[in-house]
Amino acid sequence: MSEYYWDSTIEYLRNTRGLYYNDDYLEFLVQNVWKMNTPINIVDYGCGYGYLGLKLLPLLPEGSTYTGIDKGKDLIMEAREVFDKLPYSTEFIQGDIEDIFVERQYDVAICHAFLLHMASPREILQKMMDSVLDGGRVICFEPHWIANTANYGFDGIQHSEVVRLGILQKLYETSAKDSGKDGNIGMRLPILLSQLGLRNVECRVSDKVNFLDQNMDVAEKVRLFQSLREEGIGQELEDPVKVVEQMVQRGLSVEEAQAQYAAELKLFQVFNSDSWLTYAPNMKISYGTVGRECSDLE
C-alpha cells in the first residue's frame, strides 16, 4: 500500500475538480488567449491522475503530446489506465519533482493546485521554466484560499457567521510563513513568474460559479452537494479540544481558534442537501513566456 498521501485521494480529486472550470472557458483560454493552434508538447508537474491532460488534450491540435509527472505510484497507475483508452500521445513518469531532472524539450509546462503544497515553490517554478523551450510558456492553475472562502453565498445565514475571514487570513499567512506552503499562492504567482524572468506575465480567474439549486435535477443536486462537502464546505469536525489545539499550534490565539471552531461547527450544522448555496472557487490562472530568445508564441 502506498504511503504517499495523495495516492489515497483519487476519488476526492475526481469528485472536486469539476467545481473549478467551465469547459468553454478553458477552450477560450486555449484558442483565444494562448492561441495554441499548432501541435504542442506539454509537461504537467504534479499531474495526479492526469486531470489537466483530460481537459486540455481534446482542445489542442492533433499531434499534441502530454507528459505527466507525479510522486504518487497509484496516481500514475491510474493516469496510465485512463489514457490507455484514449487516442492521445501521452507519457507518465513517477518521481519526486523536487529531485527529478526534466529535459528542456517542452512547449508548455503546467501545474494544477500543486505549488501550494510545495515548501519551495520558486525552485519548482524554475524547474518548470528550465523544461520549456525558448518562447514556450509556463501556466499555473493555483488557488487563492482567502478569495475562495469569501466566495460563498448562503440563504438564510450571514456569511460572517460561518466564515471568519480575518481569522482565516491570519491562519493561512502564519501557516505559509512557518512551512513555506502557501494556499494563497495563486495571487503571488504573477509576481513570482515575473521575478524569475518570464515575459508577458498575466493572470486570469476561473469562471465557474457552482449553484446548489433546490429546483435542479435531484441526482445532479446530490452529486453537487457531495462534491461541495468533499471540497471542505460544512465538513464534520473532530473533537473540539483537538481542533482548537491544532489551530493554536498553527498561530491563532485560543479565542481566535474557538471562534473559528464555532463558525465551522455552525456551517456543518446548517449546510445540507436542502440548502441553497453559491460557491465560486476563484482559481487563479497565471502564465508567462520563457524569454531566453525572441519568440513568435507571445
C-alpha cell at 190: 504573477
The confidence band for 3, taking pLDDT boundaries of 50, 70 and 90, is confident
- The tens digit of pLDDT for each residue in 69-125 reads 999 999 999 999 999 999 999 999 999 999 999 999 999 999 999 999 999 999 999
Residue 155 one-letter amino acid: D
Q: Does the pLDDT of residue 43 top 90, yes or no?
A: yes
Per-residue model confidence (pLDDT) at position 291: 86
Residue 297 within any structural domain of the chain = no
- The tens digit of pLDDT for each residue in 165-180 reads 999 999 999 999 999 9
C-alpha cell at 117: 503544497
Per-residue model confidence (pLDDT) at position 293: 58
Residue 296 within any structural domain of the chain = no
215 plus 110 within the same structural domain: no
Q: Does the pLDDT of residue 294 top 90, yes or no?
A: no
Per-residue model confidence (pLDDT) at position 297: 43
Per-residue model confidence (pLDDT) at position 182: 97
The confidence band for 65, taking pLDDT boundaries of 50, 70 and 90, is very high
The confidence band for 296, taking pLDDT boundaries of 50, 70 and 90, is very low
| CATH code assigned at 113 | 3.40.50.150
25 plus 108 within the same structural domain: yes
Residue 73 within any structural domain of the chain = yes
Residue 298 within any structural domain of the chain = no
Task: Give the integer Cα–Cα distance in Å for 199 and 222.
Answer: 44
- The tens digit of pLDDT for each residue in 201-223 reads 999 999 999 999 999 999 999 99
Q: Does the pLDDT of residue 134 top 50, yes or no?
A: yes
Q: Does the pLDDT of residue 228 top 80, yes or no?
A: yes
53 plus 196 within the same structural domain: yes
Please give the model's pTM, rounded to 2 decimal places.
Answer: 0.94
20 plus 168 within the same structural domain: no
| CATH code assigned at 229 | 1.10.150.350
Residue 295 within any structural domain of the chain = no
Domain of residue 267 covers: 149-181+210-279
Q: Which residues are within 8 A (CB) of 181 and not within 5 positions of it... i.e. 6 or more apart?
A: 116, 117, 118, 119, 175
131 plus 226 within the same structural domain: no
Tally of structural domains, the chain: 2
- Quick one: which H or E segment has residue 162? helix 159-162
Per-residue model confidence (pLDDT) at position 295: 43
The stretch 249-275 carries a mean pLDDT of 95
Q: Does the pLDDT of residue 236 top 70, yes or no?
A: yes
175 plus 139 within the same structural domain: no
- Quick one: which H or E segment has residue 287? strand 284-289
Report the mean per-residue pLDDT for the chain: 95
63 plus 199 within the same structural domain: yes
24 plus 99 within the same structural domain: yes
30 plus 83 within the same structural domain: yes
Place of cell 480529486: 13
62 plus 195 within the same structural domain: yes
40 plus 118 within the same structural domain: yes
User: What is the length of the chain?
Assistant: 298
Residue 27 within any structural domain of the chain = yes
Per-residue model confidence (pLDDT) at position 145: 96
Residue 294 within any structural domain of the chain = no
The stretch 262-276 carries a mean pLDDT of 95
Residue 102 within any structural domain of the chain = yes
200 plus 226 within the same structural domain: no
